Structure 1
Amino acid sequence: MRYVIVGAGSVGAVIGGRLAEAGSDVLLVARGAHLAALASAGLRLEEPDRARTIAVPAAAQADWRPGDVALVCVKSQDTAAALRDVPRDVPVVCAQNGVANERWAHAAGFADVYAMCVVLPAELVEPGVVVNSFGPAPGLLDVGRWPDGVDERAERIVADLGAAGFRGRAEPAVMRWKYRKLVTNLGNAADAACDPDDPELDALVRTARAEGERAVEAAGIPIASRAEDRERRGDLRILPVAGRDREGSSTRQSLRRGSTSVEVDFLNGEIVALGARHGIATPVNAVLQATLAEMAAAGEAPGSRRAADLLAEAAVRTP
């Protein structure tokens, strides 16, 4: 089995680099300056307890082979483009935030679709250099078939990830955990829009997540509880990495890099759409969705909005 990491940015590079380090066959698919650095100097992976350079094959496109597994690690807005050149008989593992990617892969004709619930706070700090600030394990990665179930391939993937140091299990109800992660990720937009010291930031995040909880409940979608999530994460936490300041959420990182598109439509936007279908008001998530799209389009720096203003705008929208 070869793991083709489709989108070897931050999360993809950590997973692929550690798999390669543990002896798995891996290909990193990347682009631009990051690809050039990976190809010429290898992957520099910095973690709380050590930093090292890992030699991993990297390319702009995969030379697909029998037995390959595609680990899709791109942002959700890039999924359709990333899957375009993947043969439909290749198993696809959606190692992504949000809950729509698996549906899209199935609709695109992939027969074997897997969901991976990813808890791994990594950052691409410069071409070829990735920081993973999690410990004592590098990440929590649960895998299951979509929409549910496990099989030998899921068990093998989990075993290989375990050999690479990750925690995880073959989880037949993996989407319960991805919906919990979706609700948690509703705070990413607030983290990107506002300064970390903003006195109303916590209230903004709590309100966005509460709306998400209500929308998911109204839709009758199974979701892991907050207590289950705390227990599942256990002693895993964000730790300092020597010489590095953590930027924040993946959405904040995207704004800092000047990206003109962010993942907000597939996080907060998922909840807005769910609420609309089931009669649940989601004004805070709607404001966050619109605000982050506006900030990305304008090239606005993260932290430039006030949480109190966003809450006030949401209050105006409340029916």
Structure 2
Amino acid sequence: MRMIVYGAGAVGGVLGAYLHLSGQPVVLIARGEHLAAIREHGLTLQDGTGSRTVDVPVAAGPAEIAWQDGDVVLLAVKGEDTEAALRELAACAPATTPVVCLQNGVDNERRALRAFEHVYGVCVMSPTSHLTPGVVRADCHPVPGLLDIGRFPSGTDTTAESIAAAFRAAGYGSEPRPDIMRWKYGKLLRSVGNAVDAVCERADGFGEIAAQARAEAVAVLDAAGIAYTPKDEDDARRADILKPAFTGARGGGSSWQSLARGTGHIEADQLSGEIVLLARLHGLPAPYNENARRWANRFAREGRAPASLAPADWLATLGG
């Protein structure tokens, strides 16, 4: 089984490095300056043991890969890049290739199933960072993350069990779960705060905005009749497993990092925007998530620095 990690950023890059170090055949797919840096110097992995360079194969896209039986795609791009990635994959990878969505949000698996027969979801609990080309960081140690996996839309099979075993061999916690989408909706509730984390200053009102966005998302999922893992079940899964590898706070989560790198895009439509979509489908208001989505997209579009908007200014546009 060879792992094709499409999206070698924070989550994908760290996972690809650990898989490679465990002896698992791996090919990374990267782009831009990150691709150039990996090709020239290798991928630098920083974790609780220090820094090391991993000489892992890397490609600019699926067309550069000689596809073979046993290949598995680990799709680790942001949700806004899923469609483009699937188009590239469908042009050269066999339709029977398993596609594993290592992504936040809950719509990636459904989109992948249009093009590929065997699709799996992963509930990613893996704090990681990627701010410099060629460098990724695991922010937890000694276990870098939890990667529970299940077949989409439900169930498990021998492929899911084999992939979970490969994740465990690479140092991660991983369990096959037949109800993986319930776990991913639970993760979505944690992720609706990403857009707030990305744009708002850490000042009075910040925590309340994030809490209101989550409460609103819970109400929407309940009204839509969608099952999700409650916070206490998520917390119990993490327990004492995910331990910080570095002193001091991280700069921010994945959306914050997108703004910090100046990528020009952000994942807000797939996170807060998912709650907005469900709310509209069920005739419900979702002002906090709509405001979060709009502000995050504006910051990405205008190239604004992360965490630079006063919470009071954010609240002033609520519902407007």
* TM-score scaled by length of structure 2: 0.94
Following TM superposition, by how much is the alpha carbon of 1:297 offset from its aligned partner in structure 2, in angstroms?
0.9
Following TM superposition, by how much is the alpha carbon of 1:257 offset from its aligned partner in structure 2, in angstroms?
1.1
Q: Which moved more, 1:170-179 or 1:131-140?
A: 131-140
Matching residue of 2:14: 14
Matched, 1:313 2:317: yes
Following TM superposition, by how much is the alpha carbon of 1:152 offset from its aligned partner in structure 2, in angstroms?
0.3
The correspondence for 2:217, drawn from 212, 215, 222, is 212
Q: Which moved more, 1:273-282 or 1:1-10?
A: 273-282
Following TM superposition, by how much is the alpha carbon of 1:259 offset from its aligned partner in structure 2, in angstroms?
1.8
Distance 2:56 2:136 in 1: 14
Q: Which runs of 5+ in 2 are unaligned?
A: none
Residues 220-250 of structure 1 show CA distances to partners (whole Å, capped at 9, x for unaligned) of 11101111000000113452437x8722111
Distance 2:88 2:242 in 1: 36
Following TM superposition, by how much is the alpha carbon of 1:310 offset from its aligned partner in structure 2, in angstroms?
2.2
Distance 1:30 1:310 in 2: 34
Distance 1:221 1:282 in 2: 16
Following TM superposition, by how much is the alpha carbon of 1:309 offset from its aligned partner in structure 2, in angstroms?
2.7
Distance 1:13 1:5 in 2: 8
Q: Which runs of 5+ in 1 are unaligned?
A: none
The residue matched to 2:52 in structure 1 has which SS? strand
Matched, 1:139 2:145: yes
Kept in 2: contact 1:121–1:238 (CA 8 A): no
Following TM superposition, by how much is the alpha carbon of 1:44 offset from its aligned partner in structure 2, in angstroms?
1.0
Matching residue of 1:263: 267
Distance 2:36 2:308 in 1: 33
Matching residue of 1:284: 288
Following TM superposition, by how much is the alpha carbon of 1:83 offset from its aligned partner in structure 2, in angstroms?
1.3
The correspondence for 1:97, drawn from 79, 100, 104, is 104
The correspondence for 2:176, drawn from 167, 170, 174, is 170
Following TM superposition, by how much is the alpha carbon of 1:49 offset from its aligned partner in structure 2, in angstroms?
3.1
Matched, 1:222 2:227: yes
Matching residue of 1:199: 204
Kept in 2: contact 1:7–1:30 (CA 8 A): yes
Kept in 1: contact 2:48–2:141 (CA 8 A): yes
Distance 1:28 1:81 in 2: 17
Q: Percent of aligned pairs with the same residue? A: 44
How many matched pairs?
313
Q: Give the RMSD, CA atoms, in angstroms.
A: 1.5
